[in-house]
Amino acid sequence: MLSLLSFLALNTFSQGNPYNLPYYDTRLIHFGFILGYNQAWENVSLHNPQPHKDTILDVNTPHQSGFTIGVVSDLKLLSFLRLRLTPSISFCNRKTIFNTSFKNSESTVKSDIETIWLEAPLELKIQAKRWQNFRPYLIGGVKYAYDLASLKRKKTDNLNIPIKLDSHEMFYTLGFGFDFYLQYFKFGIELKTSFALNDVLVHSYNTIYTSVIDKFRSQVFYINLTFE
């Protein structure tokens, strides 16, 4: 990634570099596609006071890596402001580790949930002034996500799994990026994080593991490459 950024920066700011796509930003609407890397984890808050404190010692949610593919629909609102709809599919896992103590014997119980998010982010893109073939920007908005893998989990229901998660999630998203105007298309590198607004834990699935958790919210970090 650093090598790619260095290469693009050298080509963008080199002396005598041609001014590529000079009328690109005057277009009302344009389209493209996204290829990206994601990393998902859970923000877990426990009940206070915590039930089963001597049995459930700790809850951890390590980061899990995945990838994202999607399309870009970009609408010009003002010279520095654009509205973006980027429907995408993100593949990842969500892992939760419970450190437990039963009969004075410590062990771990793992919940590893495959997730395929069908995502519909609606975001505002605030652009800085273009400098030669380079333009940084800020991005933020909201996103609805539906977990397609939940349909498979419902068909193969296992009563021994520690926790269950809801299929529907709402997020707000914040991030920034850099656009590079190349000879035939615009290439972008975007870094952003999505923060879930709703608790996705199914509390009605009453186990010793769900009983200790108050809120279970997803968080996802993205590094996206855009081609427009």
Q: How many CB atoms sit inside 10 A of residue 108's CB? A: 11
What is the per-residue pLDDT for 3? Answer: 55
Give me the amino acid identity at 151. L
Q: How far apart are CA 151 and CA 57, in angstroms?
A: 32
Closest CA to 44 of 161, 168, 200, 162: 200
Res 227: pLDDT? 98
Q: Which helix (H) or strand (E) holds 152?
A: helix 149-155
Task: Give the three-state DSSP class for 154.
Answer: helix
3-class state of residue 128 by DSSP: coil
Contact by Cβ (8 Å): 143, 194: yes
| Upstream peptide bond of 136 is cis (omega within 30 degrees of 0) | no
**Burial of 42: CB neighbours in 10 Å, binned 0-12, 13-18, 19+:** buried
Domain 27-45+62-96+114-156+167-199+216-227 has CATH 3.30.1490.20: no
| CA distance linking residue 228 with residue 211, whole number of Å | 47
Q: What are the structure tokens assigned to 7, written together?
A: 């290469």
Distance CA 153, CA 157 (A): 6
Per-residue pLDDT of 63-104, as tens digits, reads: 999 999 999 999 999 999 999 999 999 999 999 999 888 877
Find the largest Cα–Cα distance for the chain.
Answer: 74
Phi, psi of 149 (to 5 degrees): -70, -15
User: What integer pLDDT is reported at residue 13 of this predicted model?
Assistant: 52
Q: Are 215 and 179 in contact (CB under 8 A)?
A: no
131 phi/psi in degrees, rounded to 5: -120, 110
* pLDDT, position 186: 96
What integer pLDDT is reported at residue 194 of this predicted model?
97
Predicted model pTM:
0.87
Residue type, 10: L
Q: 115 is written with which tokens?
A: 């997730």
- Positions in the chain short of pLDDT 70: 1-16, 152, 154-159
Question: What pLDDT score does 199 carry?
Answer: 95
Whether the upstream peptide bond of residue 87 has omega within 30° of 0, thus cis, is no
Tell me if 136 sits within 8 A of 176, measured CB to CB: yes
Q: Please count the residues of the chain.
A: 228
Any idea where the domains of the chain sit in the sequence? 27-45+62-96+114-156+167-199+216-227
Q: Given this model, what pLDDT does residue 4 score?
A: 55
